[in-house]
């Protein structure tokens, strides 16, 4: 289980990744497995952050994906879109944690 303190530490990594995006909405995704960061990715005009991060991982089965949307005041809603949710399911991601607001996060099982 990932606790809030760990999410806050990972949010610093997410901020560094999200600012690399040239896109208007700056998102970052972090792939975790067994407590280790396997990959990070940000969104581009052609690819969502979730896809960018997962394409760098050979075996995503059982992984957790964190998705953050960077705003001027912190984090905003970063729930994966329907297509990304399907991609997570196909890759075997176990759960997704996404930013909901400033210091709020939602955890969902991928089904």
Name the H helices within the chain. Answer: 4-18, 49-54, 82-91
Q: pLDDT for 13-60, tens place per residue?
A: 999 999 999 988 999 999 999 989 999 999 998 999 999 999 999 999
Token readout for 94 is: 């176990």
Q: Which residues pair with 99 in a beta bridge?
A: 105
pTM reported for the whole predicted model = 0.93
Q: pLDDT for 1-26, tens place per residue?
A: 566 678 888 989 999 999 999 988 99
Containing H/E element for 109? strand 105-109
d(CA 1, CA 100): 18
């Amino acid at each position: 289980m990932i606790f809030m303190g760990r999410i806050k530490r990972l949010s610093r990594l997410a901020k560094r990744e999200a600012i690399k995006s040239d896109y208007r909405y700056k998102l970052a995704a972090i792939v975790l497995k067994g407590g280790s960061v396997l990959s990070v990715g940000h969104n581009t005009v052609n690819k969502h952050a979730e896809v960018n991060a997962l394409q760098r991982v050979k075996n995503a089965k059982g992984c957790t994906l964190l998705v953050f949307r960077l705003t001027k005041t912190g984090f905003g809603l970063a729930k994966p879109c329907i297509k990304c949710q399907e991609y997570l399911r196909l890759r075997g991601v176990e759960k997704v944690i996404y930013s909901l607001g400033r210091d709020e996060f939602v955890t969902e099982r991928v089904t």
